[in-house]
Amino acid sequence: MPKITINDVSRVAGVSVATVDRVLNRRPGVRAQTVERVESAIRELNYQPDRLAARLARSRDIRFCFVLPAAHNSFAARLREEVTAIAEHMARERVTIDMRVTDVFAAASLTRMLEDVGREAYDGVAVVALDHPGVREAINSLTEQGVTVVTLVSDVPSSKRVHYAGIDNSAAGRTAASLLGRFAGGRSGKAGLIAGSTELRDHIERQFGFEQVIGHEFPKLKILPVRQVRDEPQRVEAAARAMLREHSDLIGIYHAGGGTQGLISALESEPKRKDLICIAHELTPHTRRALIKGTIAAVINQDPGHEARSAVRVLLAHAENVPLLMEQEHIRIGVFIRDNLP
């Protein structure tokens, strides 16, 4: 079957190729009745624009920027690796993806980074965002400049970003609570909670979901005050050691952020606490080994590759005015125990 071209759409709609191009690219100056004729012809012919050809016809590449955590933990490193791989692939398709790293736990640093990005000619920005007024204002400013913004991993829902590429973090926290509570088997005691920051939306929502389910379904477990560790392995280790030292009736720990190698180090130095139930996030080489050894009971996982690819698809769709298949952009929660490791 011959490929349908823009010339075919032009012929069926009874308009010029230039008019079809204006409709496809949502440019003004075309009457509503003409737009309807062109769109009807597109549907009738099932015309699929050649997006690569359109990019080649542009005077410059489409340009995106990813603003990612500078943190030294396994998940942040893997996210940076995934974006680097996508950038190498998309460069062949006239899409340039730059990557900048900063301390996403520091509102002032992240805000300055977004303001700096706004001074360059980017078509879209993806950012691991802190839910802070300064960051929200920087996102809104980018949007007002005509830059499409997608939040990645952690959201700022009150901002003017167009899409969030990440898991349902409240559901992740509820899942962690259900696992820890069930593994506890009715025992009474305390449950520790470690998070990166209560200003990161994903960590706040995980904490909320965890506390909600423990409070309602496992009343024999008392949740200790959350300890914030900025996803730094050394600080995670210190927080876990303090919990172990201060609470002899500690039943389990939910680590809601990154830097889990610190938690593993603390647990494996306490051989007397083998009955401790630990739930962590992200399947990494560290957590995989800990699952196999029994140091961690379960891992709640999100796919950083899927998140990064989803962000690029959304940014591209907005840059090229094409529809999205939103089901493809749903990021699912994975749960791994020792017996179902991939």
Contact call for residues 302 and 171 (beta carbons, < 8 A): no
Q: Which CATH number applies to 169-301? A: 3.40.50.2300
Alpha-carbon span 147 to 63, nearest angstrom:
10
Cβ-count burial of 28 within 10 angstroms (0-12 exposed, 13-18 middle, 19+ buried)? exposed
Domain boundaries, the chain: 1-44, 61-166+304-329, 169-301
* CA contacts within 13 A on the Cβ side of 191: 31
**pTM reported for the whole predicted model:** 0.82
Q: Would you put residue 67 in left (φ > 0), alpha (ψ -120 to 50) or beta?
A: beta
Least confident stretch, 135-139, 189-193, 266-270, 335-339: 266-270
Residue 2: pLDDT band (50, 70, 90) is: confident
CATH superfamily name and code, 61-166+304-329: Response regulator (3.40.50.2300)
Which has more confidence, 32 or 111? 111
Which has more confidence, 166 or 22? 166
Average pLDDT over the chain reads 92
What confidence tens digit (pLDDT) does each residue in 17-62 have? 888 878 876 677 888 899 899 889 888 888 776 665 555 556 568 9
Task: Provide the β-strand partners of residue 149.
Answer: 125
Strand 298-301 versus strand 277-281 pairing type: parallel
Contact call for residues 24 and 57 (beta carbons, < 8 A): no
Contact call for residues 90 and 59 (beta carbons, < 8 A): no
What confidence tens digit (pLDDT) does each residue in 222-268 have? 999 999 999 999 999 999 999 999 999 999 999 999 999 999 999 99
State the pLDDT at residue 8: 86
Which has more confidence, 29 or 145? 145
Q: Collect all residues with Cβ–Cβ distance below 8 Å to 148 and sequence separation of at least 6.
A: 123, 124, 125, 162, 314, 315, 318, 319
Do 1-44 and 169-301 agree at the fold level?
A: no
Is CATH 3.40.50.1860 the classification given to domain 1-44?
A: no
Alpha-carbon span 323 to 342, nearest angstrom:
33
Alpha-carbon span 63 to 126, nearest angstrom:
11
Which has more confidence, 86 or 29? 86
